[in-house]
């Protein structure tokens, strides 16, 4: 005797304006002192995918350049601030969410047009190397 199990999944429709307000880009990965994790190979899909969703300049280059670096404390050089630097080369204000890689330990960072911004993601003793990822909000 064979049993058949049927699962019903309910889907809810989301209107286009509600979706546009909550869209974020695919996480971009960065690191300092360690090799960034290998990403999956290129995939081919619909152009509406969030894989390519980034703020771009008129010539098509990404507006934001985001880097990370450790900054040792003056009193105890074995304690490091994990600093995130973002440079916006476009005129519009861009908001990103920066997280430790594959973590929920995140912070928002708003970078005005044509400016640079710096923020501390976290502070750890003896941890010079770290990985992070960021998503641009639209």
Rounded-to-integer distance, Cα 12 and Cα 57, Å: 35
126 conformational bin, left if phi > 0, alpha if psi -120 to 50, beta if neither? left
H-helix or E-strand spanning residue 76 = none
In order of their start, the domains of the chain are 54-138 (2.60.40)
**Is pTM beyond 0.75 here?**
no
For the chain of 138 residues, list the mean pLDDT of each consecutive stretch of 10: 35 34 66 59 45 83 94 95 96 95 93 96 93 92
Neighbours of 68 (CB within 10 A): 19
Q: Please state, in angstroms and as integers, the Cα–Cα distance from residue 70 to each residue in 17, 54, 119, following that order.
A: 40, 26, 12
């Amino acid at each position: 005797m064979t049993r058949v199990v049927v699962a019903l999944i309910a889907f809810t429709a989301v209107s286009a304006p509600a979706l546009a307000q909550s869209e974020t880009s695919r996480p971009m990965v960065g690191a300092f002192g360690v090799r960034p994790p290998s990403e999956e190979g290129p995939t081919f899909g619909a152009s509406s995918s969030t894989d390519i969703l980034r703020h771009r300049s008129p010539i098509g280059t990404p507006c934001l350049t985001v880097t990370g670096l450790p900054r040792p404390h003056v009193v105890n050089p074995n304690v490091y601030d994990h600093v995130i630097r973002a440079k916006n080369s476009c005129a519009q204000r861009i908001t990103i969410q920066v997280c430790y890689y594959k973590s929920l330990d995140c912070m928002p960072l708003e970078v005005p047009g044509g400016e640079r911004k710096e923020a501390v993601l976290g502070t750890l003793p003896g941890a010079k190397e770290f990985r992070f990822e960021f998503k641009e909000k639209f």
